[in-house]
Amino acid sequence: ANEQTPSAPRPSLEVPAPAPGVAAPSTPAPSVPAPRRDDTSPEPAPPPAGRSREIAPQVEFFGFAGSGALPSASPGFGAAFGLRGGRFELGLTGQYWLARSAPVQRGSNAEIELSLWTAALRACAWPFLGAWSLRACVASGFGDLSGVGQGVDHAHTGHALYSALSSEVAVRYGKGRLVPLLGIAGGWAVVRPAFGVTLNTRKTEVFRPAQLSRQGLVGLAYQL
């Protein structure tokens, strides 16, 4: 009988269990790169002209011809200072009307010579800004109306308060610092003082400003 030779035992592979309390190593999560800013993106466009909020001081010098405040049409001159931010402006203006005369009686040489200066606070809006610019203003002002008799006895100079509300529309041309301007204005008198003389112990009114006045003006504006 054939005898079978016993086969050699096969080696077994065992994986050691991790030690208690020791965590298995974890695989680190892949890092996600942060999105890069495109350096070639265009810069924000600058604000359109005329919309800047920067305060721009400016001065004006002008001559005018007006009627209503004095006995007849009178020339004069004035100046203004304003602060403009965007499309709005706040400022001060002053005017001087050259003297005009009102006769005391027809056919006589006696008369009263009157002159006027005013100062006003005004607020303006600029609906159009460009090569041609449009400005609309409202103002409240007061002044001194003075008169002196000519060819009368005991002549003296009298002063009285004058006050009016006014509006103005003006246009400018050009974008430089020095630009010409042209405008029209109208006023409504709030206080209208009367001037007169005494004839035969009786006071006679010679002149009182009209309720409405009007002006045409031309000048130059300069941005500081």
In this predicted structure, the answer to whether residue 63 has a pLDDT above a threshold of 70 is yes
Does 25 score more than 70 pLDDT?
no
Scored b (16 or more CB within 10 A) or e, 154-183 reads eeeeeebebbbebebebebeeeeeebebeb
- pLDDT tens for 109-140 read 888 999 999 999 999 999 988 889 999 999 99
Are the C-beta atoms of residues 139 and 124 closer than 8 Å to each other? Answer: no
Residue 115's closest CA among 167, 80, 150? 150
Predicted pLDDT of residue 89 = 96
Q: Between residues 87 and 51, which one has the greater pLDDT?
A: 87
pTM above 0.75, yes or no: no
Average pLDDT of the chain to the nearest whole number: 83
- Residue-level pLDDT at 178: 95
| pLDDT for position 32 | 56
Tell whether the model's pLDDT for residue 77 goes beyond 90: yes
- pLDDT, position 37: 56
Q: Provide the pLDDT for residue 204.
A: 81
What's the confidence (pLDDT) of residue 91?
97
**CA dist., res. 103 & res. 96, Å (int):** 22
The fraction of the chain above a pLDDT of 90, given in percent, is 58
Q: What is the C-alpha to C-alpha distance for residues 115 and 156, in angstroms, rounded to an integer?
A: 14
pLDDT digits (tens, 9 = 90+) for 140-159: 999 999 998 887 777 788 99
Average pLDDT score over residue span 188-193: 96
Measured between alpha carbons, how far is 224 from 220 in angstroms, rounded to an integer?
A: 13
What pLDDT does residue 221 have?
Answer: 96
Binned at pLDDT 50, 70 and 90, residue 50 comes out as very low
